[in-house]
Structure 1
């Protein structure tokens, strides 16, 4: 049994309204779920994805208005990426970002793919990655209710970058425990440091990769606004989830055990460099409690929180999102 690829990436935001503006109005993604942080129901949890909220397309945010800035460093997920169809799409995005006065890097190669890097409102490092017909995990369904041409729309998650002091302990977990395979490397973009190593799972491709950067010169990250909290990997169903739960427990890694999120089952653990990983099922998905055509339009609560809706809504700050 293999993990299928990336499921979602979760990030901390200091302002849900500006975050919503950036990911829907600038990047043209769909708000597929407006819910609460199930571990702290006084704050919102926003999920953006493709037109259908498919696993592998979702970038999520915990709304934490009191957060300070992030101090970058090791023991971190230092960047996330989003897939687009082609290099032509990257040129479209260069023009769009410049028109909106959003700073960006030049288009450059990462892992032999054309990429375009920039930062969101909170300072999260985001990289657009061009598929250019590459084989691997299938892309998602572009959201066509924006001003972005469908052929240039975001179509899923791309590789995450892990930044660590020493790579070998993380490599051991990725390969020996999680079944990833080493598929290549590319030069560090930060100077004279070890090459960035590329690991893939499932069918491979941009939607199934982890990139591992070794930076012994950096301090430990101090997370804040824009910090990437965790990365989740896809398991197709509950039957295989049981297999992976047992495998992680038998590995000796400290873990959460099964956590019921309603939209998916989850298991959390930290690899040796203290980066938080999650394993999540594709099922039942975000249409479990809302029609596909109206995803994200109301505050959605899983059934085990629904009896507390009045109490939860009373402690949430007002959140005005113009869909």
Structure 2
């Protein structure tokens, strides 16, 4: 068994409308699925991605209108990377972020790649990373109707950054249970801390974890601008059941099999309390909508369909 790379990442937002405005109008991502949190249907669950929301391109958000601001710290998924095709694309994005008054740090180098660190409108930490020299997991395809130039568009999730006070137990789970390989380290210049890099599958920008070791930080308090969980790609449902068996054998408490309709999953926490998910590549977002109309209407899994009217009445319409 081998995890194929990053599947999706789910973060927190206070306003679905403001979230859609930023991620579609500024970053040019496609809203590929407008649905609800299946565990709490009173809140939106928004999925952004490439042209069809391929696995490895999905950035998702739960809307909680009264949620407080995230307090950055330890035991967290601390930064989310978004892949762009090449170094030239970063020059385009540097100009575009400046044009939209998005705070960013300009083009810098990180682990041998050019990147642009920046924050969204709710202070979520993000990085645009160039695929100029990527030799690992391939990216997706930017949406041709993007409000940003598709030639330079976002094509997937890049390295996901974790921040922990002690790497030892996390590294044990990541390598011995999940099968990641330790491939290098670098110094994170702003704080001077060490970052350890792990990869899975074919490796590259779409299959890396960058773990920051920060014993000096307090635990994070999750809020808007924070990240709830990260999911990793599993080939199919049969293999997912094998992963669940491995988690049980490793005595890692987990959710057991969960059917999310668009993919099948299992959830568990690594020793520093960070929530991981393993999710199948299929069946995908065209299960209940055709490719041309993805994200245009409220999509509900079959078990919630009979409550559509009740659910819809509790959600504010989104203009986009």
Q: How does 1:283-298 map to 2 (within 5 A)?
A: 283-298=282-297
SS of the aligned residue for 1:305 comes to helix
TM-score by length of 1: 0.97
- The residue aligned with 2:244 is 245
Decide which moves more: 269-278 or 138-147. Answer: 138-147
Question: Displaced runs of 4+ in structure 1, greater than 3 A?
Answer: none
Alpha-carbon distance in 2 for matches of 1:321, 1:45? 15
Q: Distance in 2 between matches of 1:310 and 1:189?
A: 51
Shift in Å, 1:38:
0.5
Which moved further from structure 2: 144-153 or 270-279?
A: 144-153
* Alpha-carbon distance in 2 for matches of 1:86, 1:214: 29
Partner of 1:321: 319
- TM-score in terms of structure 2 length: 0.98
Q: How does 1:159-308 map to 2 (within 5 A)?
A: 159-193=159-193, 195-308=194-307
Q: Could you say what secondary structure the match of 1:46 adopts? A: strand
Secondary structure of the structure 2 residue equivalent to 1:304: helix
Instruction: Please give the alpha-carbon distance, in whole angstroms, between the structure 1 residues aligned to 2:207 and 2:189.
Output: 21
The alignment partner of 1:88 has SS state of helix
Report what 2:17 is aligned to. 17
In structure 2, the gaps of 5 or more residues are none
Tell me which residue corresponds to 2:84: 84
Q: Which residue of 2 aligns with 1:144?
A: 144
Q: Distance in 2 between matches of 1:280 and 1:147?
A: 29
Deviation per residue, 1:20-45 (Å, 9 max, x gap): 00000000000000000001000000
User: Between Structure 1 and Structure 2, how many residues are aligned?
Assistant: 320
Distance between the aligned counterparts of 2:81 and 2:317, measured in 1?
A: 27
Question: Is the contact made by 2:25 and 2:148 (CA closer than 8 Å) also made in structure 1?
Answer: no
CA distance in 1, matches of 2:74, 2:131: 28
Give the CA deviation at 1:149: 2.2
Q: Secondary structure at the match of 2:303?
A: coil
What displacement does 1:100 show? 1.0
Residue of structure 2 in register with 1:74 after alignment? 74
CA distance in 2, matches of 1:192, 1:209: 21
Structure 1: any 5+ residue segments left out of the alignment?
none
**Shift in alpha-carbon separation, 1:70–1:147, aligned structure 2, 3 A:** closer
Measured after TM superposition, the shift of residue 176 of structure 1 is 0.2
CA distance in structure 1 between the aligned counterparts of 2:220 and 2:285, rounded to whole angstroms: 32
